[in-house]
Structure 1
Amino acid sequence: MFMGTIAKNFRIDSELSSQANKLLEGLGLSMSQAISMFLRQVVLQQGLPFEVKYPKRSGELLDAIEEAKRLEADPKTKRYTDMNEMWADLDK
């Protein structure tokens, strides 16, 4: 069964549109094709095809950065001039 198409107008931030167009062109898709794919997934999933939420702040990453800063300041921290020296020390 043939289904007709309709024209829709959307307001999108110009910078967002430009960035998305560049990415989509690299994938061989037009903006229209990408929006159609998105809407098909909305119908198939009976909702948005992805979770909508604020990204988590990576506590682990922040903790690792703080630990690295502490270790860097600690004079007892062993330092290596190259990877071979480090691997040789770890193999002992």
Structure 2
Amino acid sequence: MAKSANLYVRIEPEIKEQAEKILSTLGIPASNAINMFYKQIILQRGIPFELKIPDRTPADISMLETDKLHAELKKGYADMKAGRTKDAKTVFADIRKDYGL
């Protein structure tokens, strides 16, 4: 089917740049990705992923200022001293269980 409809959207430049960088790495033009998204909306009869508010937002340490990074590190250290930790084997088992892997 020939592509003849245009779609004009406004998007945050940073979001566009980040997404297009990933798509480029995958070798997928943005227009193809949008077309795939629309096809999935049709197939799923709705948004093709779960929309929900997360229980909490994990800290992106690459975006933290020094004082906030130190605060996060102190929280982690306090959790470790208080025994509120899990070994890697348990964490990965939980992830596999939670995501059906």
TM range (shorter): 0.5 to 0.7
Q: Name the structure 2 match of 1:47.
A: 46
Give me the identity figure in percent: 38
For the pair 1:69 / 2:81, whether they are aligned, the reply is yes
Distance in 2 (alpha carbons) for counterparts of 1:43 and 1:18: 26
Say which SS state the counterpart of residue 81 (structure 2) adopts. Answer: helix
Bigger Cα Rg:
1
User: Number of paired residues?
Assistant: 65
Equivalent residue number for residue 24 of structure 1? 23
- Counterpart CA distance in 2 for 1:24 and 1:69 is 42
Q: Where in structure 1 are there 5+ consecutive unaligned residues?
A: 59-63, 72-92
How much does 1:57 deviate? 2.9
Which 4+ runs in 1 deviate beyond 3 A?
64-67
Cα distance change, pair 12–66 in 1 and its aligned pair in 2 (3 A) = same
Quickly say closer, same or farther: Cα 1:4–1:14, change in 2 above 3 A. closer
Point out which structure has higher relative CO (alpha carbons under 8 A, 6+ apart).
Answer: 1
Question: Residues 26-83 of structure 1, C-alpha deviation per residue, up to 9 Å, x if partnerless?
Answer: 111011000000000000000000010112238xxxxx87542225xxxxxxxxxxxx
Which residue of the partner structure matches residue 38 of structure 1?
37
Instruction: Give the structure-2-normalised TM-score.
Output: 0.56
| Runs of 5+ consecutive residues of structure 2 not aligned to the other structure | 58-75, 84-101
Under a length normalisation based on structure 1, what TM-score does the superposition of the two structures give? 0.61
In angstroms, what is the RMSD of aligned CA positions?
2.2
Shift of 1:6: 0.8
Letter paired with 2:16: S
